[in-house]
Chains A and B, each alone.
Chain A
Amino acid sequence: MPLSNLASASSFFSMQLQGTGRRLFWLSIAFIVSALVCLPFADLQLHAVDPWLELSHIAWGMITPSFAHLTINELLQALGHTVAFALLAVVISVPLGVMFAMLFRFRVVRWAMASIRAVHEIFWGLLFMQIFGLSATTGLLAILIPYTGVFAKVFAEIFEQQSQLPTQSMSPKAGALSRYVYGLIPQSYGAMAGYVRYRFECALRSSAILGFIGLPTLGFFLESSFKQGDYSEAAGVFWLFLLLIATVRYWLKPRFWWLYALAAIGLLPESPTVYGSTVWQFFSQDIWPSSFVRGDLTASLSWLDKQFWQVAWPAIGTTLVITQLALVLTGILTVLMYPLATKVIVLNSVRLPSRFVLLFLRSMPELMLAFIFLLLFGPSAIPAILALAFHNAGLIAFLLSNASEADAKEHVTQAFAKRPLDRYVYQELPRRYTAFLAFLFYRWEVILRESAIMGILGIATLGFYVDSAFEDIRFDRAFFLIIITALLNIFVDGVSRSVRQRAGLTTANLAVR
């Protein structure tokens, strides 16, 4: 019977297994243990009085979307801003990314790119908002700066994967730019274009999310209608956003990107004139502790000491606890969800709805999901963990089910044909396990970035303290906490890379980065 088979199937991981199986087994155990250790430190209290009542209201809203309180003009404008920010940010950050990717052999460039991509779009948004207000400049910079860092890194990786022969065949005396333009760049073109397309979708999400801090994108209306309890209107905006993402390939023709870019410039909201002196004052004085600007080093150090131990340290703890729990829950949900979306295991009657759910979860920004869970469960770690886990599990499970179907023809053995559970534990999961762990570890750093940002919803991660420091006009503290968050991110990225290398987990799939 399947059940007894299930028990012996654990032999796939069993301790007698040498090599890869054993290594991956212990790696998985180590991460589950890390989550268990985090569990007692997490704030997992339910604050909401009646989550089911709230849930039924939201569910009712979802099936009765309306735009009753919004004019069509407002809505179209928000839609236009969302697309314009995303598009222009990508159009600007791609060439910058290519440029820095060509300079990636310099350590200073690698460091600069690592630090700008370690800071979340929302943090960049909060920072630039202090200077440029709720303007196009803020929205654009907030997306294009971290995206430049991401593009530079991924493009450099793509360059590395290409054959060196074309460049070798050119004269070493030819300029570096010429050699890139006739060699590695056209060689990488396909992979780069695919990645840019994927990233454009991410940029749409980032752009919408910037509405949560007040920029005039879809997220703004989503948040305000949710806050007013107008779930039908929130649902209307939400479905509109989902439709926008789901139909990208129909309304965006990459060939005419320059036409779109020109149109997007016209759609941008106004930017007030900002004087260079204001910018200079902000970056040279406002974001540094006043004692440091005065040159009082002792006072600066005691300021640093106080900020770190009293504010940053507990927030780092909360952020890491949420990250670990979300990571492991992502893994569990993935393993449960992906078999339901591959025809190797289930029939189309199950597969198609499952794939729809996965696409839905994948398209939903974590922050939006968290916002909904927050209404249900109140302000604890629960909404953050659930949102991160569901979004990332949706993304990974979708990729895994695709991989499983791509490889299906050769591998379905007759013996298992009618026993889906057997097939899953004996064939599917073992085959997919390396890719699964690789994807999961690539998402580790992303999950950390996002769990820090969950703070702007009132969950006590680093983002909460950054947000409140900005509200209190304590720019020095906000900036210090952003740097701490970035360092934490770079640290986790490093740990993840070394775990992946030691465990031999690699993937050519760029859609997880």
Chain B
Amino acid sequence: MIFHLDQQTFSYGKSSAHSAGPAALSDISLSIKAGEKVALIGPSGAGKSSLLNLLYHNSPLQSAWCPQDGGLVDSLSVYNNIFSGGLERRSTLYNLVNLLRPFAAPKQEIEALARQLGLRDKLFTSVDQLSGGQRQRVALGRAMYRQQPVFLGDEPVSSLDPLQADELLALVLKQHETAVVSLHNRRLALNHFDRIITLRAGRFVFDGPSAGLTMVHLDAMYEVDASAAE
């Protein structure tokens, strides 16, 4: 068992300056086993981000975290942003020197990763120069460079074109044993995940295998959500 939540109720005392007041969760029970690939879907404000945050704080050591707006450091290069995913594998001194002048070993690793992400020629560009889609790929790269068994992603491919989204989602899921990913795109959820959880107003509406589900089912759930939310 990787994650186990038992009737968790969760609310933020005060919304912090940089999150737009995440939704509260009420009475959530959830077990995720190693090897499961879980997609979270639901309208915005349903509590997907809160749930992912909660999961991440439960096991930060074995999870690679890809937060919603990327959480990149604007003034650092693509290379250093990705490198920061693996700080714990090297000494502080090594990390400090690397910031001034990249070492050959991590450079090779990150170059290979960047090639897969289509960022090879942007490696030494600071990320504030990049487009939304490119930034999202950097955030994915950093999460992959964490090299953890679990991937937690909050809308990690929302600004990519459909083809790239498919490709990179497959890559990320292949590299992680377990994954919990929130998605807006229901087609991606059906195609890539074996379990789907639908949230509305902080509660689970549906939690089950994706096999047998179709877009029609999911659309129906969404519409119920949408009308109920009003």
Residues of A within 8 A of B (CB): 161, 163-166, 168-175, 177-179, 181-183, 186-187, 189-190
Interface presence of B69 (CB below 8 A): yes
Q: Indicate with 1 or 0, residue by residue over B109-145, a CB within 8 angstroms of chain A CB atoms.
A: 0000000000000000000000000000001001100
> Which residues of chain B (14-36) have a CB below 8 Å from chain A?
16-18
Inter-subunit contact B66/A182 (CB<8 Å): no
Residues of A within 8 A of B143 (CB): 169
CA distance A170 to B65 in the complex (A): 8
Chain B, interface size: which category? Answer: 20 to 34
Complex A-B, nearest 4 residue pairs according to Cβ-Cβ distance, in ascending order: A165-B71, A174-B87, A182-B84, A171-B88
Closest B residue to A182 by beta carbon equals B84
Q: Indicate with 1 or 0, residue by residue over B83-102, a CB within 8 angstroms of chain A CB atoms.
A: 11111100110011001000
Interface centre among A163, A168, A171, A179 (most CB of B within 10 A): A171
Residues of A within 8 A of B73 (CB): 166, 182-183, 186-187
Inter-subunit contact A161/B17 (CB<8 Å): yes
Inter-subunit contact A177/B92 (CB<8 Å): yes
Residues of B within 8 A of A186 (CB): 73-76
CA distance A183 to B84 in the complex (A): 8
Inter-subunit contact B99/A171 (CB<8 Å): no
> Which residues of chain B (39-91) have a CB below 8 Å from chain A?
56, 60-61, 65-67, 69-76, 80, 83-88, 91
Q: Choose among A168, A173, A177, A179 the residue that contacts B71 (Cβ–Cβ < 8 A).
A: A168
Interface presence of B146 (CB below 8 A): yes
Closest A residue to B126 by beta carbon equals A186
Inter-subunit contact A182/B146 (CB<8 Å): no
CA distance A172 to B91 in the complex (A): 14
Residues of B within 8 A of A168 (CB): 56, 65, 67, 71
Q: Choose among A163, A172, A179 the residue that contacts B18 (Cβ–Cβ < 8 A).
A: A163
Inter-subunit contact A169/B71 (CB<8 Å): yes
Assess A187 versus B95: contact at CB under 8 Å? Given A175-B87, A179-B87, A182-B83: no
Inter-subunit contact B18/A165 (CB<8 Å): yes
Residues of A within 8 A of B70 (CB): 165
The interface residues of chain A, by DSSP majority, are classed as: helix
Inter-subunit contact A169/B99 (CB<8 Å): no
Assess A187 versus B74: contact at CB under 8 Å? Given A165-B18, A170-B85: yes
Residues of B within 8 A of A171 (CB): 60-61, 85-88, 146
Inter-subunit contact A182/B95 (CB<8 Å): yes
Inter-subunit contact A178/B92 (CB<8 Å): yes
Smallest beta-carbon distance A500→chain B, Å: 17
Smallest beta-carbon distance A190→chain B, Å: 7
Smallest beta-carbon distance A192→chain B, Å: 11
Inter-subunit contact A169/B80 (CB<8 Å): no
Assess A182 versus B67: contact at CB under 8 Å? Given A170-B85, A170-B87, A172-B60: no
Inter-subunit contact B66/A169 (CB<8 Å): yes
Smallest beta-carbon distance B148→chain A, Å: 8
Closest A residue to B67 by beta carbon equals A165
Inter-subunit contact B92/A182 (CB<8 Å): no
Smallest beta-carbon distance B146→chain A, Å: 7
Inter-subunit contact A173/B61 (CB<8 Å): yes
Interface centre among A172, A178, A183 (most CB of B within 10 A): A178
Inter-subunit contact B65/A178 (CB<8 Å): no
Smallest beta-carbon distance B99→chain A, Å: 6
Assess A175 versus B92: contact at CB under 8 Å? Given A169-B67, A186-B73: yes
Closest B residue to A160 by beta carbon equals B17
CA distance A163 to B143 in the complex (A): 17
Residues of A within 8 A of B18 (CB): 163-165
CA distance A368 to B139 in the complex (A): 53
